[in-house]
Every structure is written in C-alpha cells, then in structure tokens.
Chains A and B, each alone.
Chain A
C-alpha cells in the first residue's frame, strides 16, 4: 500500500506527542496519574469533533481541527479550574476528578452522535485507528511536531513550575502562566492527534511513568526519551493491530488499551509501595 510512509510518520508523531503530553501534564500538575486521558482533554476534543460534524459537516479538516483544539483547551481549562478548588489534591482523587469530567464530555458525545446517527463515526474517533490515515489528513500532525518542539523549548520552566509555586516564583517565573502555557500546548497537540487518528489511550500515562522512574523528573532530559519511547510503543502497537487478526486490522487504540492497561496496573501496584 502507498499509505505506508504517511502512516509510519503519523504513528511516530502521534506516539511521541501523546507521551510528551502526558509527561508535561504530570509535571505541571505534580500528579503522576494526570494525562490527556485523565484530564478530560481527549474526551473534550472528541466532543468538539462530534459538534463539528453536526453543525459544519462540510467544513475542511483544518477547521475541524481548530474546533477540536478549542474544545480540548476548554476541557483542560475546566479541569485546572476544578483542580484549583479541590481541597485534597490526593494522588488518586485528582485523576478521578478528570475521569469524571471526561465521562461527562463522553456522555454528551454519545448522546449527540446517537441522535444524529454518527455513532459509527464516533467509534472510530474514540478508538485510535491508523487505517484511515491518508494524505490530506496526516499532514496535520506536523502541527503536533511543532507543538512538541515548543514544549521542549519550555522544558526547564515546566520542571521548575513542577517543583512548586513558591520555588518557581522565587526564581522569577510566573507560575500560573507557565502552567497554562504548558497545559495549553499539550492539550492542543493531543487534540490534533485525536482529529487525525482518534484517541490513543494510556500511552500518555504509561510511557512518562516508566521513563521518569528511570531517568528522573528533569524534563529537558526525559522529554526526548519519552518522545522516542512513545513513538516506539505506538509502532509496536500498530504492528500488533495488524497481525492479531490478519488480514483484518484491530484499532490500535484497542491494542494499546489492553497492553497499556496491564502496564498501568503494574505501575500503580509498584507506586503503592512508594510515597505518592
């Protein structure tokens, strides 16, 4: 197939973007279980896609991307707002709150899609799938590459912000703005990934946890490693998705859901022995 090269590029960019997004979110919220999956970001982006398909069905793909990004930003912003009001920023309560928020967005998506007869389409968005990655769409992922590079450029600031508000302000950093910039950058890039290939679950949660466990929390050092690891993991998942039921394809999101789920469980069980 001629879709090989675009597909491979798409996988590499999407995988690294999701891992970097998770890593950045974990740093800025100081919670190892916060990622685009658990901050409502992915579900908000999907809701944007559904609304786009309903109200501007003939809109070009880049316009739908903009809508999805706006929704992802709003959803993530709402998560941050709720986080600010949370009394006990417990390691588990925070992502749980994000999951609830995501569930609300998701319910709205399903409701609307059901009413409009878009359920079939919704399923492909929710379960990341590269088989539909054709020319004219995967180019959007260059936006993701740009956002990821920009995230790296801010890496040192994000690490400082992650140490704590007082520490950051003492060093002359505007803590609130730094958090917003970081969350905004990675919420945008994961929304673009949702538009091109659909939701890629767990990658943003699992990869950063493994990488930081080994290499520490300094983003400038771990971010490139996380990006590469995310790309490799998604490439492997893609191979898996094409071989499990050959000659058919299982959505890569499903493969990741299973593999990532187990990896995530292992991380949770391990981290219970340590201080949160």
Chain B
C-alpha cells in the first residue's frame, strides 16, 4: 500500500506539487497522466525517496519514505526514473543483476539468478544479455533498466514514462509486461504515461494531474471524458469508445 500524506513540494515560492491525500492499495496498475510539468515525476520520485518533499510524506506499507532506512525500502519499492541514457559499459545481464543487490549485496544465490533470468525473459532481452549497454539502442537500454527493476521484485513498482524510446511493438509488449506484474505477481504498479489512450486501455485506475494537483482520480471510464480532458490537458478533444474503454481522439484536436 502506498499512502500519500499532505505532500507538498516547492521550489522557492513555486508549489509544484500539492497532494493532500492519495492511497494506492492492492494489486493493480495506476496510471499518472497530465501535461508536461504537471508534477507527475515529482510525485513519483518523492514516493521512491529519490527526492525530498518540502512537507508531508509518503508511506509504503506503513514505512515513511523520508525516514525509513533506504536499504529496507529497496526491498519494498523500486523506481525507474525518466532519464537513464547513460552509456555505461556494463552488460545487460550485469545491470539486471544489480536489481538483486538489496537482497544479495553482490553475492547472487540461485534464486537471484532465476529472478534475473525471468526479468530478461519478460523483456525479451535474452539475446542481448551479453551485450554492453553502450552498444545498444536507446529503447533496448530502456528495456534493460526496466528489467533491472523487475528483477528487484518489490511489491511496489514506480515507473516514470517507461515507454519513452520504445517502438510500437516494444511499447505494447512493455505495457503487457506491466499488466503481468500486477495480474500474475500481485504488484502495485504506478506508471507515468504520456499517452492517455495507453493509460485508458491498460490501467485499472487513472490519476490525472494538473499544476501539481490531482484533478481526477478513478477508473478510466469515469475519469476520461471531454470536460476532464480539457481541464487536464487544456485541449478540446472528442472521446469515443473501443471495447468498452474510452478512446481520446487527441490527434483530431484543433
């Protein structure tokens, strides 16, 4: 369970995040959506204790992320940030193995190796396992970083725009993988998505943000309508339906 409590982040006089209360409980995929600068990454990175809030806090399974020992948190919550384009000379497998560090401290057991293999399989990275990250495309590297988070095997997984750099096939595949994390492995997944339709199709719940505030929260079918989309994205769009799920025709907006 992830509980946001009176969370505020300010830079100088500018409040970039003001989230009084938000609870994410149980297995499922929650999508964070909103325009650029809405505060999605800020919320996610604070929850992953990569950023200090100005006030308030986030609890992960009751552990306060601003005070709990980082090493303990590493076994409960995993976060992948937006920017990972570092060309470090590690193989894909080495990177994914680091996902087991919170448990193994560098000495991998058979179980660790199994989870590493599973993560490589899940992201179809086996053929690249021995390749070095600096010799991969941006999308392949992105998938390697996702695999490391999957190998970390925490109950809570926070992903900031994981589909960046991915082609259509791998984007679809990654979303299917994210669904599996929730459905098969019972994880609580929070994922920032810039494509509202991907969110509408794959998420159980959508949290829409604007100017640092949550402006809509609920199942895709309740959140996605024309007035809300106008409020969130500042765009007049037409909303239609496909297999019972809303589809936003944002590309038709004028």
Contact (A218, B50) CB under 8 Å given A170-B79, A172-B70: no
Assess the A172–B91 pair: CB atoms within 8 A: no
A173-B73 Cα distance, complex, nearest whole Å: 10
Enumerate chain B residues within 8 angstroms of A174, measured Cβ to Cβ: 70
Enumerate chain B residues within 8 angstroms of A220, measured Cβ to Cβ: 106
Q: Which of B75, B78, B91, B98 contacts A216 (CB 8 A)?
A: B91
What 0/1 pattern do residues 170 to 181 of A give for CB contact below 8 A with B? 111110000000
Interface residues in B89-103 (C-beta closer than 8 Å to A): 89-91, 94-95, 98-99, 101-102
A170-B149 Cα distance, complex, nearest whole Å: 9
Enumerate chain B residues within 8 angstroms of A217, measured Cβ to Cβ: 88-90
Q: How many residues of A contact B (CB 8 A)?
A: 23
Q: How many residues of B contact A (CB 8 A)?
A: 34
Output the nearest chain A residue to B99 by Cβ-Cβ distance: A171
Contact of A164 with B by CB under 8 A? yes
Interface residues in A206-256 (C-beta closer than 8 Å to B): 212, 216-218, 220
Contact of B253 with A by CB under 8 A? no
A30-B86 Cα distance, complex, nearest whole Å: 10
Q: Which of A163, A212, A216 contacts B86 (CB 8 A)?
A: A163
Output the nearest chain A residue to B70 by Cβ-Cβ distance: A172
Assess the A156–B101 pair: CB atoms within 8 A: yes
Output the nearest chain B residue to A160 by Cβ-Cβ distance: B98
Contact of B195 with A by CB under 8 A? no
Q: Which of B45, B74, B86, B91 contacts A171 (CB 8 A)?
A: B74
A12-B136 Cα distance, complex, nearest whole Å: 38
Contact (A172, B72) CB under 8 Å given A216-B91, A218-B94: yes
Contact of B87 with A by CB under 8 A? yes
Assess the A216–B90 pair: CB atoms within 8 A: yes
Query: Shortest Cβ distance from A275 into chain B, in angstroms?
Result: 6
Enumerate chain A residues within 8 angstroms of B79, measured Cβ to Cβ: 166, 170
Assess the A171–B81 pair: CB atoms within 8 A: no
For A156, A160, A162, A174, the residue with the greatest tally of chain B CB atoms inside 10 Å of its CB is A156
Assess the B91–A170 pair: CB atoms within 8 A: no
A167-B70 Cα distance, complex, nearest whole Å: 12
Query: Shortest Cβ distance from A134 into chain B, in angstroms?
Result: 40
Query: Shortest Cβ distance from A21 into chain B, in angstroms?
Result: 19
The contact sample of 23 A-B pairs, CB cut-off 8 A, is: A156-B105, A160-B98, A160-B101, A163-B86, A166-B50, A166-B81, A167-B98, A169-B49, A170-B48, A170-B50, A171-B152, A172-B73, A172-B74, A172-B75, A172-B101, A173-B101, A216-B94, A217-B88, A217-B89, A217-B90, A218-B94, A220-B106, A275-B134
User: Top 6 A-B pairs ranked by shortest CB distance?
Assistant: A172-B74, A172-B71, A156-B106, A217-B89, A216-B89, A171-B101
- The chain B residues found within 8 Å of chain A, CB to CB, are 45, 48-50, 69-75, 78-81, 84, 86-91, 94-95, 98-99, 101-102, 105-106, 132, 134, 149, 152
Besides A170-B74, A216-B94, 14 other A-B contacts (C-beta < 8 A): A156-B106, A163-B88, A163-B90, A163-B98, A166-B45, A167-B98, A169-B49, A170-B48, A170-B80, A170-B152, A171-B74, A172-B102, A174-B70, A275-B87
